[in-house]
Amino acid sequence: MLDGAMQLSAAEVARVRDLLELEEVRDCLRRYARGLDRHDVELIASAFHEDAFVHDPAFSSVRAFATWANEHHAGRWGAHQHFQANETIALAGDGVAHAETYCLLLGRREGGDVELIAARYVDRLERRAGRWAIAERTVVMEATGVVHGGGAGQQATLALYEEGARDRSDPSYRGLR
């Protein structure tokens, strides 16, 4: 009963439960992207079950993949952001969900050019011990390209703002963990 005035039906309670499950799945997907951008191995790993399998040539284990991803991103771009959108999530019951998430990676090269990578993640997630995480992921690459930067003007604009960091000294860790 809410405030003594309204009682939810069994169907409404089930719907609220589903909405909570969907939000936990979304949280898992967001942890992955944030972990990549902050080079946070623990955050990347938290998005996967320890025995997860990723259909990606760089994947051998969750921790090895997270470490490889950090080294690869650091060596390739001075800064990068993974944008995830258009997620479609289907709860399959029995602690299983399927998701398709569109990803756009923007990576700033030395000199200011920006590399674009468009992909989709096709995931099977499982809820184990009360925690949603990815059990299997297929990465579908869609497109790559480069946007030529504005050179010195772009660099001057970036210099006006607080600089991000690829570790826990990043401003986002002031209030987020």
Average pLDDT over residues 57-82: 91
Q: What is the pLDDT of residue 73?
A: 93
Residue 160 has pLDDT above 90, yes or no: no
Per DSSP, helices labelled H in the chain are 10-38, 41-46, 62-76, 152-159
Evaluate the CA torsion angle 40, 41, 44, 49 in order and state its sign: negative
User: Per residue in 85-101, pLDDT tens?
Assistant: 999 999 999 999 999 99
Residue 3 has pLDDT above 90, yes or no: no
Residue 2 has pLDDT above 80, yes or no: no
The neighbour count for residue 70, using CB atoms within 10 Å, is 19
Q: How far apart are CA 49 and CA 135, in angstroms?
A: 6
Place of tokens 């992909």: 119
Domains of the chain: 10-162 (3.10.450.50)
Q: How far apart are CA 33 and CA 105, in angstroms?
A: 10
Q: What is the pLDDT of residue 166?
A: 76
User: Per residue in 113-156, pLDDT tens?
Assistant: 899 999 999 999 999 999 999 999 999 999 999 998 766 666 67
Q: What is the pLDDT of residue 1?
A: 47
User: Per residue in 26-40, pLDDT tens?
Assistant: 999 999 999 999 999
* Selected residue with higher pLDDT from 175 and 1: 175
Q: What is the pLDDT of residue 175?
A: 74
Q: What is the pLDDT of residue 137?
A: 95
